[in-house]
Every structure is written in structure tokens, then in C-alpha cells.
């Protein structure tokens, strides 16, 4: 869909769009050879302004998308680049271009060491969550949460199925062992519920084109998580993957 998704959503939703809570991401921007990642604060602010024009309204939340992507090139100036990018989104919020701003990171390991008082604090941090997330990402999320002083409701998860709920991995492995009791939930429901505990997040973003699937996942929130099992699982992950890339 290129960079037309905002306009497509606005055209499709029409008069219903104001009834929804809208969030979006900025970071991957149009370049001469296609999409390119940038932490340039001027370009980021312009991207938020363009999103407002495309939606015809201000989004409730705008994420800085995968800042780690450009931090590799920033080198020693990584903290400065991250702080400037976060400040651009904070400025967008102050200007009323969005209700709040956050950071969405697929591979957050480089980020915790860059956070100090010069880096603005986001309203939300969104990271990968679930049983297929590696130990490095889980530990980096905890460190980043602590560095920014984020509360329990300010960390969200994404990609709980690591691609697809119909992936063969969910047939080979039964995630219901992480739930308390025999509650009759499906494997997909169990995998979704466990995503709230690996790491601990307040919300999990999923996509579906079938309302029945969404209803099934909402019902999964009634399941209880066996935290002693998830804690042991994280310890095993650390032992197994220590020193290996996530």
C-alpha cells in the first residue's frame, strides 16, 4: 500500500473514523529509492503533519517506528539522534498534532543504554510479545521500561504469533501449559494470553479481517497465567540463548 494507507483508511472509514481511536507510526519515510528509515526530526514532524492531513483529523497516538534501525548508522551520536527524534514527536504532541506519542521497537536491545534525562519519555512503549520472542528482546524491554520509568499500563505488545496464528509452530507446541487449570481455551487463545506476560504488557496489538477471531482473542483474556511457569521459561531462555543473537 506504500504510503497511501492513511488516506485509504480515511476513505474507507469515512464518517466512522471519528468514532475510532487512531494510532500510526513514523520513521519509514518516502525516499528517492523507496522507503527509507530516518530519525531526522524535521522529517518526522513533517510526517506527523502529513498523517493529520491524510486522516483529516489528529491521531490519538503516534509511534516513533523502530528507532534502532537508524541508530546503527548514528554510532557514537546515537543518544543525540534518539533524543532529537523523540523531541520531534513530543513537539508534535505539544502542537496538538497528536494526542500522545510513543516508541515502537522490533529489536530494542540497543536502546536501554541510550536513555538518560535528555531523551524525552514516551507515553507508550510497544515491543514484540509472546512465546517466540527471544531472551534478548525480553530483557531489553525490561531494561528500557525501567530506564524510562514506564508504568504497567504504558508498555504494549505486538506480533503475539510471530507472523500468523495458523503457523505450524502452534500445532507442534501447546502453549496451554502456561495457563492455570484446564479452562478449555484453544492453543491460539493461550498463545495470545501468554503474550501479556512475555514481557509484561497492558495491551497487545493484533490484526484480523474476521470479527469472530477478534472475539475469540478477547475471550482469551479471561484465562489465568501461571506466572511461575512463565518465570521459569524466561530463565531457560536466558540460559539457552545467552551470547546468541535474538
What pLDDT tens digit does each residue of the chain (246 aa) get?
A: 456 777 777 777 777 777 878 889 999 987 787 789 999 999 999 999 999 998 888 999 999 999 999 987 766 789 999 999 999 999 999 999 999 999 999 999 999 999 999 999 999 999 999 999 999 999 999 999 999 999 989 999 999 998 787 888 888 889 999 999 867 899 999 999 999 999 999 999 998 878 888 899 999 999 999 999 999 999 999 888 775 655
Residue-level pLDDT at 21: 84
The pLDDT of residue 87 is 98
What pLDDT is recorded for position 207? 84
142 vs 150: CA distance, rounded Å: 10
- Predicted confidence at residue 134, as pLDDT, reads 93
Please measure the distance between the N-terminal and C-terminal CA atoms of the chain and give it in whole angstroms. Answer: 29
Strand 23-26 relative to strand 61-65: parallel, antiparallel, unpaired?
parallel
**What distance in Å separates the CA atoms of residue 9 and residue 167, rounded to the nearest whole number?**
28
Backbone angles phi, psi at 201, to 5 degrees: -130, 160
Q: Rounded to the nearest 5°, which phi and psi values hold at 157?
A: -115, 160
Domains for the chain: give ranges and CATH numbers: 1-122 (3.20.20.100), 128-133+154-241 (no CATH)
Burial class of 169 by CB neighbour count within 10 A (0 to 12, 13 to 18, 19+): middle
Q: 183 CB contacts (<8 Å, ≥6 apart)?
A: 222, 223, 224
Given a contact cutoff of 8 angstroms between Cβ atoms, the answer to whether 43 and 76 are in contact is no
Determine contact, residues 62/89, Cβ cutoff 8 Å.
yes
4 touches 44 (CB < 8 A): no
Q: Which residue spans within 46-177 are E strands per DSSP?
A: 61-65, 100-105, 124-128, 155-158
Decide if 103 contacts 122 (C-beta within 8 A): yes
Amino acid at each position: 500500500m506504500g504510503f497511501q494507507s492513511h488516506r485509504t483508511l480515511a476513505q474507507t472509514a469515512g464518517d466512522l473514523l471519528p468514532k475510532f481511536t487512531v494510532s500510526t507510526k513514523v520513521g519509514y519515510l518516502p525516499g528517492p529509492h523507496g522507503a527509507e528509515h530516518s530519525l531526522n526530526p524535521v522529517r518526522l514532524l513533517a510526517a506527523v503533519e502529513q498523517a493529520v492531513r491524510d486522516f483529516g483529523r489528529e491521531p490519538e497516538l503516534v509511534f516513533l517506528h523502530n528507532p534502532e534501525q537508524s541508530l546503527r548508522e548514528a554510532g557514537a551520536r546515537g543518544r543525540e539522534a534518539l533524543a532529537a527524534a523523540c523531541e520531534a514527536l513530543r513537539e508534535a504532541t505539544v502542537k496538538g498534532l497528536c494526542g500522545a506519542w510513543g516508541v515502537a521497537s522490533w529489536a530494542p536491545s540497543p536502546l536501554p543504554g541510550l536513555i538518560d534525562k535528555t531523551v524525552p519519555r514516551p507515553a507508550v512503549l510497544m515491543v514484540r510479545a509472546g512465546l517466540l520472542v527471544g531472551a534478548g528482546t525480553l530483557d531489553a524491554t525490561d531494561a528500557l521500561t525501567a530506564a524510562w520509568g514506564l508504568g504497567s499500563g504504558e508498555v504494549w505488545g505486538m506480533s503475539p504469533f510471530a507472523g500468523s496464528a495458523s503457523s505450524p509452530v502452534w500445532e507442534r507446541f501447546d502453549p496451554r501449559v502456561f495457563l492455570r487449570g484446564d479452562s478449555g481455551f484453544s492453543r491460539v487463545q493461550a498463545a495470545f494470553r501468554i503474550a501479556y506476560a512475555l514481557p509484561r504488557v497492558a495491551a497487545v496489538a493484533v490484526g484480523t479481517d474476521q470479527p469472530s477471531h477478534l472475539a475469540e482473542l478477547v475471550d482469551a483474556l479471561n484465562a489465568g497465567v501461571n506466572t511461575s511457569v512463565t518465570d521459569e521459561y524466561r530463565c531457560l531462555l536466558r540460559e539457552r540463548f545467552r551470547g546468541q543473537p535474538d
